[in-house]
Structure 1
Amino acid sequence: MGSMRKNWFHSLPNEALHAEFLQDVSKLLLKEAVFAGTQRKNPVVRFHDPDHLYDLLNLTPTEKPATHTELLKAICDTINFSVKTGHPYFINQLFSSQRDGLGCAPKLVMFASEDAHYSVHKMAALLGLGEQNVCSVQTDKTGRMDSLYLESQVQRIIATGAVPFMVVATAGTTVLGAFDPLPAIADVCTKYNLWFHVDAAWGGGLLFSRTHHHKLIGLDRADSVVWNPHKLLAAPQQCSMLLVRHPNIIKACHACNATYLFQKDKFYDVSIDFGDKYLQCGRRADVFKFWFMWKAKGSIGFEEHVNALMDCASYITTSLRQRPSFKLVLEPEFINVCFWYIPQSLQGLQEQPDFNEKLHKIAPRMKELMMRKGSMMISYQPLQSLPNFFRFVVQNSGVTHQDVDYFLDELDRLGADL
């Protein structure tokens, strides 16, 4: 990677570039973690104070990618300074808000776009808020939350005697890839003292692109942001993070101070013991995957990756306009490119009363054909009153313009006789 060969940043395995490195990683893991890490003659932990460890591991991300030698050293150092939980002398913790609850609270209402992720409603149910207390905010024709309508709904809820407490904005909706107007929503939250949460799970990776990060203007005003590098940046699942503006709020909400796990009189700085802040106790260090990718690619590698995905979306958008059997649902704002395939049998019949009903059946039938043939897979879905349409979403920066041509040609072949 340090040689910066053409297309070095692609999220696609390349035997010439990666095979030797991956073999070296496997050998290193077996030698140092699996075998040496469980031998009685070796220490359970090579302890260093956290500040010293930070310097030893060189944790700060860099602009340029690391070499394979540097990456192997990073893995070796991580193993060397990790607690060896498989060591026969490791007899420590198992590694395999609160009191009043909502009973004393008024009726709480949160707000989210009508195109927000379904998990907003699911968590409202799980937390005891109730799905009926998630107020869906209308979107404009591009799928962006209408901030004026949001404010009118906040005022309506206040008039009923209920208490608005949070707005969930989305930076990159799942289907259309829309970015809610973050500055305008932040203004509403400031005016009515509401928690401003941004779901940037899909679109957060645009931060790395100097060309496209303007879509995230206003993100800096959020109280909390969720971001999934396993989506746009193609990190291995699961790799998600919650970023919070207020330093101690997670601990205040979640910590139970179980002294049999989280002793306060340890000989090092216990503020780095994060376990008590989370909902679960034992968990993997999922952020390691992202840190290691960042070290391998550098910020510039992530930028090239994101720009390549946006270029691919632009190419397929242009190609769709040039093919008579394809019709865009809307002009894409992001990597999500949504379109209908209109077979010859339906062309020119758009004014017929049953046109949408017939079009609705095309995408599921084509999905069946492509899966039975094994030639490709692409998702489809309806949205509100729109009939089923295809959604081209690419996360692999190794996808080429030629690959896009193949996708569209194959859709033409699959749909020709429908």
Structure 2
Amino acid sequence: MQFLLEVVEILTNYVRKTFDRSTKVLDFHHPHQLLEGMEGFNLELSDQPESLEQILVDCRDTLKYGVRTGHPRFFNQLSTGLDIVGLVGEWLTSTANTNMFTYEIAPVFVLMEQLTLKKMREIVGWPEGEGDGIFSPGGAISNMYSVMIARYKYFPEVKTKGMAAAPRLVLFTSEHSHYSIKKASAALGFGTENLILLKTDERGRVIPADLEAKVIEGYVPMFVNATAGTTVYGAFDPINEIADICEKYNMWLHVDGAWGGGLLMSRKHRHKLNGVERANSVTWNPHKMMGVPLQCSAILVRERGLLQGCNSMCAGYLFQQDKQYDVAYDTGDKAIQCGRHVDIFKFWLMWKAKVGILRRFLSALITNVVPIFSYQPQHTNVCFWYLPPSLRGLPDGEERRERLHKVAPKIKAMMMESGTTMVGYQPQGEKVNFFRMVISNPAATRSDIDFLIEEIERFGNDL
């Protein structure tokens, strides 16, 4: 018990420092430095057990050399922030250490999941009592579920006979969509060549006319993914217009709201997902905009029974039909996993504690923080180039592009060495490397954003 108390003290000290702007976001070391056991931090596994005192040191060092993703100056990923209520939920979940496959082993958690998923479907706009859903290991798996379920809906014999039982099927998604759609195409046997990328406008939104133009003879159009909050630009595809085309050609409409789904909780900004109620399935990740600790992703399905029919294998040692309670609560056979982590409790706890606060935060984040920039992004992704003084007088051309392409990686390297803040960068299509700052931490303020810009200027001034 004393060991546990000391670990709790380590954790609470870490949480306290996470919100302290005088601390670093990270204490960066290259992989070889950590592997060589610098400063006594040894990652190698020994043949003999070590003392609890050494285990405590290992706990401290693991946190010391990790990244403080909850730090107000961490702008690197879509999942960020450190919510205390959610953290408590995660601790309790780990203490319970149970599995989500049956009611008998996780009675309270199973009911929490069903009630929360019901609420989420109502917020999407589906009629009360309709639909189904399940929490999955992340948005990529939720998106994969959507493709699996769509295939089962149209060609159920594929479950037993394989892809040979189906015609040549094609899927559609934005050229800016998350790579998980491409990964699902490969993993589920469609083939990446049968995933057709749709053109986007200047703001990164799918052009519906391009979708209709690409529904051609010789292929069976089955599935369209519309993105609500793209990973890089934060763009929202026009769901209603895409839904019209899906209904015309009898295609499954999935909305990947992994990043932007949280805006359904905002009365002011949910209009960006207008038409989502027409979708056949929706991915929604509370571990992104809503700040729930990783992992917490839901796949929501409008038609009840498809999840069960698609994935059920009726394992007799788990899902006995003669149990002395309602076996409809044994939800595990709807999942592609057997062992399934309890992702619901931290979300349920946060919902109870702060649903009104979450709504106000989501509205304020976009309304009050983003407009400090010279353009109006659709979400809290802010993409920009930094032009060092040495490039400002250089005429636009290949030399300028080549040099600009190297600026963001160099600044990022210096930023990580310094450890004061973190921001991501990437190319996109024909565009050279640019910074993508993501604002989703409720602890971040305008001064933290100013600090990031100042650090970029400091590191890039002499490039």
User: Which TM-score bucket, shorter chain as reference?
Assistant: 0.7 to 0.9
Q: Relative to 1, partners in 2 of residues 1:199 and 1:13: Cα closer, same or farther, differing over 3 Å?
A: same
Matched, 1:287 2:326: no
Query: Relative to 1, partners in 2 of residues 1:59 and 1:191: Cα closer, same or farther, differing over 3 Å?
Result: closer
Q: Pairwise mapping of residues 79-228 of structure 1 onto structure 2 (< 5 A)? A: 98-154=159-215, 156=216, 159=217, 161-228=218-285
Between the aligned partners of 1:143 and 1:108, the Cα distance in structure 2 is 26
CA shift digits 1:45-74 (9 cap, x unpaired): 8989x9xx78xx999989xxxxxxxxxxxx
What corresponds to 2:379 in structure 1?
334
Match of 2:357 among 301, 304, 307: 301
Shift in Å, 1:391: 0.6
1:413 and 1:209 mapped to 2: Cα distance?
37
Cα–Cα, structure 1 residues 146 and 410, in superposed 2: closer, same or farther, change >3 Å? Answer: same
Cα distance between partner residues in 1 of 2:178 and 2:422: 22
Aligned-partner residue type, residue 305 of structure 1: F
Q: State which of 265, 282, 291 in structure 2 corresponds to 1:234.
A: 291
Distance 2:92 2:118 in 1: 23
Residue 141 to residue 410, structure 1, CA distance change in 2 (3 Å): same
SS in 1 for 2:277: helix
**Rg larger for:** 1
> Cα offset for 1:110?
0.4
Partners in 2 of 1:267 and 1:245 — Cα distance?
Answer: 29
* 1:331 CA drift (Å): 4.3
Native 8 Å contact 1:313 1:334 kept in 2: no
Q: Which runs of 5+ in 2 are unaligned?
A: 1-68, 73-81, 99-103, 121-157
- 2:160 counterpart SS class: coil
What is the 5 A alignment of 1:404-415?
A: 404-415=449-460
Residues 145 and 212 (structure 1), Cα distance of their counterparts in 2 relative to 1, 3 Å cut: same
Distance 1:21 1:127 in 2: 37
How far residue 305 of structure 1 moved from its aligned partner, in angstroms, is 2.1
Q: SS state of the match for residue 381, structure 1?
A: strand
Q: Deviation of residue 103 (structure 1)?
A: 1.2
Q: Does 1:403 align with 2:460?
A: no
* Residues 90, 346 of structure 2: 8 Å contact kept: no
Aligned to 1:270: 327
Find the residue that maps to 1:341 and give its secondary structure: coil
Is contact 2:311–2:333 with CA below 8 Å preserved after alignment? yes
Letter in 1 for 2:209: L
Matched, 1:391 2:436: yes
Q: In structure 2, how many angstroms separate the alpha carbons of the residues matched to 1:137 and 1:26?
A: 39
Residue 48 of structure 2 corresponds to: none
User: How far apart are the structure 1 equivalents of 2:382 and 2:90?
Assistant: 38
Deviations 1:348-394, CA, capped at 9 Å, x for gaps: 32434421111111100100111111121100000000010001101
Aligned length: 341
Q: Does the CA-based 8 Å contact 1:315-1:401 persist in structure 2? A: no
- 8 Å contact from structure 2 (residues 90, 293) kept in 1: no
Aligned to 1:376: 421
Q: Which secondary structure does the structure 1 equivalent of 2:385 belong to?
A: strand
Other-structure match for 1:417: 462
Change (3 A) 1:46 1:162: closer
Q: Residues 46 and 363 (structure 1 numbering): CA distance in 2 closer, same or farther, change over 3 Å?
A: closer
* Cα shift readout 1:292-349 (whole Å, capped 9, x = no counterpart): 1111112x111122123214542441xxx4xxxxxxxx74111011000001111132
Shift of residue 291, structure 1, vs aligned partner: 1.0
Identity over the aligned pairs, expressed in percent? 46
The verdict on how the C-alpha distance between 1:257 and 1:213 changes in structure 2, with shifts beyond 3 A counting, is: same
Q: In 1, Cα distance between the equivalents of 2:366 and 2:92?
A: 36
Does the 8 Å CA contact 1:61/1:295 hold for their aligned counterparts?
A: no
Kindly report the root-mean-square deviation, in angstroms, between the aligned alpha carbons of the 2 structures. 3.3
Question: CA 1:392–1:59 in 2, change beyond 3 Å: closer, same or farther?
Answer: closer
SS of aligned partner of 2:434? strand
Structure 1 CA distance, aligned partners of 2:407 and 2:86? Answer: 43
Distance apart, 1:417 and its partner CA:
0.8
Shift of 1:259: 1.8
State the distance in 2 between where 1:13 and 1:372 align. Answer: 17
Q: Assess, with a 3 A threshold, how the Cα gap between structure 1 residues 26 and 100 changes in structure 2: closer, same or farther.
A: closer
Tell me how far 1:412 sits from its aligned partner: 1.1
Tell me, yes or no, if the aligned pair for 1:366 and 1:414 is still in contact at 8 Å: yes
8 A contact 2:86–2:350 mirrored in 1: no
- Measure the CA separation in 2 of the matches of 1:46 and 1:177: 37
Kindly indicate whether structure 1 or structure 2 has the higher relative contact order, using CA contacts under 8 Å at least 6 residues apart. Answer: 2
Q: CA deviation at 1:395?
A: 1.5
| Compared CA separation, residues 186 and 45, structure 1 to 2 (3 A) | closer
The unaligned stretches of length 5 or more in structure 1 are 1-10, 38-43, 63-96, 322-329
Deviation (angstroms), 1:106:
0.6
What's the TM-score, normalizing by structure 2?
0.68
Supply the distance in 1 between the matched residues of 2:259 and 2:406 (Cα, whole angstroms): 28
Shift of 1:241: 0.4
